[in-house]
Amino acid sequence: MITTPTSSRTRSRLAAAAASLAIAGAIGFGAVTTSPAPVLAEAVNVQAPQVPGFADLVEKVSPAVVSVQVKSKVQPASDEGGLPFDAPDFFQDNPQLKRFFKEFRGGPNGQRFQHRENRNREPRPVAQGSGFFISEDGYIVTNNHVVDGGTAFTVVMTDGKEFDAKLVGTDQRTDLAVLKVDAKDQKFTYVEFADDSKVRVGDWVVAVGNPFGLGGTVTSGIVSARGRDIGAGPYDDFIQIDAPVNRGNSGGPTFNQSGQVVGINTAIFSPSGGSVGIAFDIPASTAKQVVEVLMKGGSIERGWLGVEIQPVTADIAESLGLKAEKGALVSGAQDDSPAKKAGIVAGDVITQVDGKDVATTKELARLIGAYQPGKSVDVTVWRGGKAETVKVDLGKLPNGDKVASAGKPSEPSGANSLADLGLTVTKSEDGKGVVVTDVDPDSDAADRGIQPGDIITAVNAQEVAGASDISSAMKEAQKAGRKQVLVQISREDTNRFVTLPVAKG
């Protein structure tokens, strides 16, 4: 190999230059190499998956959503006056609490405090919520609890325009209300109701409304449950959504990804008073049915069956020979009710209405309530170990609840012991049933809630006139291979059912 000698000074300069080039390459200014540069593969431009957005949807539906401001001719509280509600004495006597509640009530535009010169204006704002147009001629849907008590109504559009509205109708039981804006030569952007039967748990939804009076606000989430019963009323069938919904969102719509209304925001679950991301919507199918009637100036009339009912538990199902814990157990038919006229009696289990299955007591209430008074329906009941169909002409749901009447317990005499059941009973004064005079606290009867003074009127649908009738019903159940018997009890003018294990004898 032939080499070219270099001086030590030359070698030092070359080494320094090489070091400088190496450093330059390390910080991005390029590098020098004595070998050919490797050929790099062509870079692949990979597109990241697009996260679904709602901007196009929101732009489309927002003009149909409004803020609803409700006013009432109510005298506001003065600095020296009392609270605006009937409060306990310790509130009235505490000036700090009084001042807090007057400040908390808020001002006309949702601000926390209001100027003194605005306090005596009438009418003054008492509520603020949301709503949405469902027709181009100005019909608006909102919640009943938003407009309740109001005497004047104003709707504010997303562009800030304000219109006066009149109240067309309300339905307290479903918490729905309809307002109407009359504006000449004005056509409003409106939205349509969806077929909520197609809504699935896990679907994306968007809630649009006016929380805290801030103006149009959009939140998103998913449908997290269907058919929720939150104890709001007999027709509870809410869609649960996991999306931030707050005070002021009430009456606002929840949209599917097609821009259709799947539900109306009406309640939230909130231990603290603020949103924890769980809200409840009135289903579109319920709202559409009610709103159509209200728009025509009508009132909502619901069918009435007239029965007292209770859930079918596993023990009750077993005692009656039912295969599943479904249906509504009739504990009594009210006097002069359609059910009583049709022959429905205590101990029947209603399993279907016009061929539609009844899974729970709430479902029975919703099915019957969906019919108009006077409608003739086929009610399927489980009676005596088999299914029977009874035709019922429904009545009109009364304003108050009718209570089935029953005899008052009389003073016991001539008690008989049913030791296997933990009961001591005596004949009732009118001969209808037996009065419970004592209950063993360690017995199944005590565990099931039977108390002294209760009247046992039937066991497994067989009328009871004495202790021997109970023993006979137990023996028959034992022969039939049943583990439980169904005991009908009258207590304080109401009927209920409990199960007891078949006594072994």
Please give the positions annotated as active site. 145, 175, 250
Say if residue 269 is exposed, middle or buried (CB neighbours under 10 Å; 0-12, 13-18, 19+).
middle
What is the Cα gyration radius of the chain? Answer: 36
Q: How far apart are CA 61 and CA 352, in angstroms?
A: 40
Structure tokens at 64: 């149909």
Strand partners for 12: none
CB-count burial class (<10 Å; 0-12, 13-18, 19+) for 499: buried
- Per-residue CA distances from 341 to 188, 305, 336, 338, 494 (Å): 50, 10, 7, 5, 19
Give the whole-angstrom CA distance, residue 207 versus residue 275. Answer: 13
For residue 308 the two structure tokens come to: 């007292």
By C-alpha distance, which of 125, 127, 107 is closest to 117?
107
At a CB cut-off of 8 Å and minimum separation 6, what does 36 contact?
Answer: none
CB atoms within 10 A of CB 237: 18
Give 45-82 as a DSSP string.
-PPPPPPP--HHHHHHHGGGEEEEEEEE--PPPPSSS-
Count, in order, helices (H) and strands (E) of the chain: 11, 27
Q: How many CB atoms lie within 10 A of CB 218?
A: 17
Q: φ, ψ for residue 275 (rounded to 5)?
A: -75, 135
Token code pair at residue 360: 């729970």
Alpha carbon distance 451, 62 (integer Å): 59
Task: Report the candidate in 474, 473, 422 with the shortest Cα–Cα distance to residue 450.
Answer: 422
Separation of alpha carbons 488 and 432, rounded Å:
12
